[in-house]
């Protein structure tokens, strides 16, 4: 009985094993497998045939890559029975086919010579992939491996090489070929563009380097050399650029133009630099789509378990990093990069994880052991640095920080020793390293600047004065004769004079020797002295033989020309971004009232500064220039008033940029005063010619100008001498 039970047990296990094997075979037969891959050319089109064990329900999704040129097709739920992963084709544009199984899906990759578009069609149990010809392909290629195939047997010399600037600012390299059969290969190599002309030679006159930076194009230089049986041309652009190349008969043209960015946009967006790819998926899982990106970029993508959902996506020739951003934005995902590993998760999950990491760091710092380290401060002030480290404040002259700019941890402390200019800091090691880096950058010598100012006050004056004295005398009455002139035949006479007393004396009405002046002046308008000097004069007298009648004339004239210049040259040396003041002058006293808190005022004396003042704050720019904030004041004692002397003030305040050692005129005050005075006898002074005997003229012109010259110079320092 026992043996019988054992036999039944063995038979039962054999049945179970047979059943499992049968089910496994049935399942294996039920799963779709790729049996064969072949290629052919029909009607000028390249066709790749993929034979499967079962008919597909839908065309598999795929994507195209431009560099290297590939087409990838994903077969979900399909395995491979090929026995090998790579099939060499080497026909037309198709180089090989790779079949790789990963889990429950299989990827078929078509390795092409150049990028091309494709169409997929299901016919029975086979999938036909039709590659469009390179002539009809709409897929743009980044740069063709070969621009033109060579058809020349012999090496021929290039005829000419030229560079031009287009109207839109692009750089155009024009090469004249010996014929239209020359092979051309163009490729981008780093930041340069390399063009090779196969089976070509270069004359000595064309073997040169063209420096074309002055043309104002993205191209800086074009270097052409002979390399074996080829002519190699290296085009070196700058900035962001793109290129295009074309050939017309025997003329080959390469055009490089700048990629322009709209300056009106506040944000120019992210700059994507990844290789371009094309994606076309309908309702594909996000995790599968991320795996496609990982396979293309050779990045390891770790996806969080919370990433789920599907997305419909169609992209044509976009950089892979931009495609990744689009996918993540569509599903509110984010990523963190560490080396060549990308961790993808929802943004909230990433933020929560980062918060936990920061809280963990803060908790660790609160338990970390404190250490004490001293720092020797060489140039800065230890007390200023201590204020900054503890609670914010002034670090150095001219620099400030916010009140919350504490660099120490909550457990840290700092002590400043002013006598030795040292700092003793107690804190955790990580904070001590940060403080050491800060001190290394802050505790540096400050460059000094010598500012020379010249205030030139020039004056130019010119004056001219012309005057006359005209008078007459009639002393016949004093000599016993008859004065005046006869009026009619009845003995009446008339006498003239410059005043009533002079006329009476001339007529003799007051007696012959009454003491009245018989001489007088008709015009008394002499020239005015200029500059405290009297005018020069010239006089003449016309009289008769009896010497009893006189006509007197005096002409006076004065011309003054004066020039003066006052030069004030204050100099001051100060450090970078540190204000400096230099002044010179005097103080004038004046009376004032001094009032106390009760309102009682008593006479007192105050003083007013009359000085020359230069206040300057320099700022050294990275290119060696100097920005100067200037405040210049020039005072001069003015006219006297009953309350004291006035003050003539001249003030200049400005900000300028000056080269090292250069001189700039920052301002000036120009004054011109012109006065013309004329004094004359009415009617007689207006007579032509004779009227000059009845007038006096004075003309004065005064010109004053104040110019301020500034010359800053950097003082050489040992710390900067070797830079």
Q: Give residue-wise pLDDT tens across range 340-378.
A: 888 899 988 888 888 888 888 878 777 888 899 989 999
Helix (H) or strand (E) holding 394: none
What's the confidence (pLDDT) of residue 652? Answer: 85
The structure's pTM equals 0.48
In this prediction, residues 84-97 reach a mean pLDDT of: 83
Compute the distance between CA of residue 230 and CA of residue 546 in angstroms, rounded to an integer: 125
- Look at strands 422-427 and 70-76 and give their pairing: unpaired
Per-residue pLDDT tens digits for 241-259: 888 777 766 888 888 888 7
Residues in Cβ contact with 475 at an 8 Å cutoff, skipping those fewer than 6 apart: 518, 519, 548, 549, 550
What percent of the chain shows pLDDT beyond 90? 11
Q: Which two tokens stand for residue 278?
A: 């094309």
Predicted confidence (pLDDT) per residue in 699-710, tens digit: 889 888 888 889
CA proximity to 77, closest of 94, 96, 54, 98: 54
Token representation of residue 495: 């006498």
> Which two three-digit tokens encode residue 412?
């840290």
Identify the pLDDT of residue 221.
93
φ, ψ (nearest 5 deg) of residue 434:
-65, -40
How confident is the prediction for the chain on average, in pLDDT? 79
Name the band, by pLDDT with cuts 50, 70 and 90, for residue 32: confident
Top-confidence residue, 718 or 438: 438
Residue 17 banded pLDDT, cuts 50, 70, 90: very low
For 572, residues 6+ apart whose C-beta sits below 8 A from its C-beta are 450, 451, 580, 581, 582, 614, 616
Which tens digit of pLDDT belongs to each residue from 377-396? 998 888 888 888 886 443 44
Half-sphere exposure of 68 (CA within 13 A, CB side): 11
**pLDDT of amino acid 405:** 57
Round to whole Å and give the CA distance between 395 and 387: 8
Phi-psi region of 502 (alpha: psi -120 to 50; beta: other; left: phi over 0): alpha
Question: Residue 525's closest CA among 471, 489, 479?
Answer: 471
pLDDT at 217: 92
* Interval 441-485: pLDDT, tens: 888 888 899 999 888 888 888 888 888 888 888 777 777 777 777
Q: For residue 309, report the phi and psi dihedrals to the nearest 5 degrees.
A: 100, 170
Helix, strand, coil percentages for the chain (3-state, nearest 5):
15, 50, 35
Q: Which pLDDT band, with edges at 50, 70 and 90, does 314 fall under?
A: low
DSSP 28: H
Lowest average pLDDT, out of 353-357, 411-415, 454-458, 544-548, goes to: 544-548
pLDDT for position 146: 61
218: confidence class by pLDDT, cuts 50, 70, 90:
very high
- Measured CA to CA in angstroms, residue 328 lies from 325, 586, 720 at distances of 5, 76, 50
211: confidence class by pLDDT, cuts 50, 70, 90: very high
User: Nearest-CA neighbor of 277 among 317, 229, 325?
Assistant: 317
| DSSP-derived 3-state class of residue 95 | strand
Largest CA distance in the chain: 206
Facing residues of 173 across strands?
A: 163, 254
DSSP for 443-456, written as a single string: S-PPPEEEEEEEEE
């Amino acid at each position: 009985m026992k043996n019988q039970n054992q036999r039944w047990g063995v038979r039962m296990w054999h049945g179970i094993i047979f059943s499992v094997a049968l089910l496994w075979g049935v399942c294996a037969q039920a799963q779709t497998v790729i049996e064969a891959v072949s290629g052919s050319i029909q009607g000028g089109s390249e066709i790749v045939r993929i034979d499967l064990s079962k008919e597909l329900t839908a065309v598999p999704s795929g994507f195209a890559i431009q560099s290297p040129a590939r087409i990838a097709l994903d077969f979900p739920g399909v395995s491979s029975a090929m026995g090998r992963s790579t099939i060499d084709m080497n026909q037309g544009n198709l180089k090989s086919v790779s079949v790789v199984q990963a889990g429950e899906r299989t990827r078929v990759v078509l390795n092409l010579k150049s990028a091309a578009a494709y169409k997929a069609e299901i016919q029975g149990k086979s999938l036909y992939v039709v590659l469009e010809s390179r002539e009809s392909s709409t897929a743009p290629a980044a740069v063709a491996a070969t621009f033109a195939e060579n058809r020349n047997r012999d090496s021929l010399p290039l005829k000419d090489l030229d560079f031009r600037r287009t109207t839109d600012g692009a750089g155009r390299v024009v090469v004249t070929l010996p014929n239209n059969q020359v092979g051309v290969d163009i490729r981008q190599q780093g930041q340069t563009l390399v063009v090779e002309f196969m089976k070509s030679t270069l004359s000595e006159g064309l073997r040169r380097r063209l420096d074309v930076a002055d043309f104002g194009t993205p191209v800086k230089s074009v270097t052409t050399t002979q390399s074996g049986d080829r002519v190699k041309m290296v085009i070196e652009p700058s900035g962001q650029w793109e290129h295009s190349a074309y050939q017309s008969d025997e003329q080959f043209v390469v055009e490089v133009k700048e990629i322009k960015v709209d300056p009106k946009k506040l944000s120019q967006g992210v700059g994507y630099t990844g290789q371009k790819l094309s994606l076309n998926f309908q309702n594909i899982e996000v995790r599968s789509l991320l795996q496609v990106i990982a396979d293309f970029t050779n990045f390891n993508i770790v996806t969080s378990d919370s990433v789920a959902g599907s997305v419909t996506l169609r992209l044509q020739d976009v950089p892979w990093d931009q495609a990744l951003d689009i996918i993540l934005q569509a599903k509110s995902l984010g990523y963190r990069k560490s080396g060549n590993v990308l961790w993808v998760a929802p943004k909230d999950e990433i933020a929560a994880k980062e918060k936990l990491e920061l809280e963990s760091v803060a908790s660790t710092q609160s338990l970390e052991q404190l250490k004490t380290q001293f720092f020797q401060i060489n140039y800065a002030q230890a007390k200023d640095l201590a204020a900054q480290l503890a609670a914010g404040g002034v670090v150095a002259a001219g620099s400030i920080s916010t009140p919350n700019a504490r660099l120490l941890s909550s457990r840290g402390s700092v002590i400043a020793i002013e006598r030795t200019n040292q700092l003793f800091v107690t804190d955790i090691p990580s904070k001590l390293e940060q403080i050491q880096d800060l001190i290394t950058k802050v505790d540096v010598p400050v460059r000094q600047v010598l500012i020379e100012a010249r205030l030139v006050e020039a004056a130019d004056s010119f004056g001219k004065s012309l005057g006359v004295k005209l008078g007459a005398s009639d002393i016949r009455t004093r000599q016993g004769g008859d004065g005046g002139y006869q009026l009619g035949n009845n003995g009446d006479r008339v006498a003239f004079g410059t005043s009533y007393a002079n006329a009476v004396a001339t007529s003799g009405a007051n007696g012959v020797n009454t003491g009245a002046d018989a001489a007088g002046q008709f015009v008394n308008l002499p020239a005015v002295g200029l500059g405290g000097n009297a005018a020069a004069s010239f006089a003449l007298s016309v009289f008769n033989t009896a010497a009893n009648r006189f006509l007197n004339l005096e002409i006076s004239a004065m011309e003054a020309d004066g020039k003066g210049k006052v030069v004030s040259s204050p100099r001051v040396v100060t450090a970078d971004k540190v204000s400096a003041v230099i002044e010179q002058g005097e103080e004038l006293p004046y009376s004032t009232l001094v009032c106390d808190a009760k309102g009682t005022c008593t006479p007192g004396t105050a003083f007013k500064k009359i000085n020359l003042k230069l206040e300057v704050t320099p700022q050294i720019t990275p290119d060696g220039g100097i920005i100067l904030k200037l405040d210049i004041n020039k005072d001069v004692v003015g006219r006297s008033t009953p309350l004291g002397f006035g003050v003539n003030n001249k003030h200049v305040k400005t900000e300028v940029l000056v080269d090292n050692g250069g001189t700039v005129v920052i301002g000036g005050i120009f004054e011109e005063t012109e006065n013309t005075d004329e004094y004359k006898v009415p009617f007689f002074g207006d007579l032509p010619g004779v009227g000059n005997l009845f007038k006096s003229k004075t003309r004065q012109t005064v010109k004053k100008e104040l110019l301020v010259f500034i010359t800053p110079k950097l003082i050489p320092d040992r710390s900067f001498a070797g830079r």
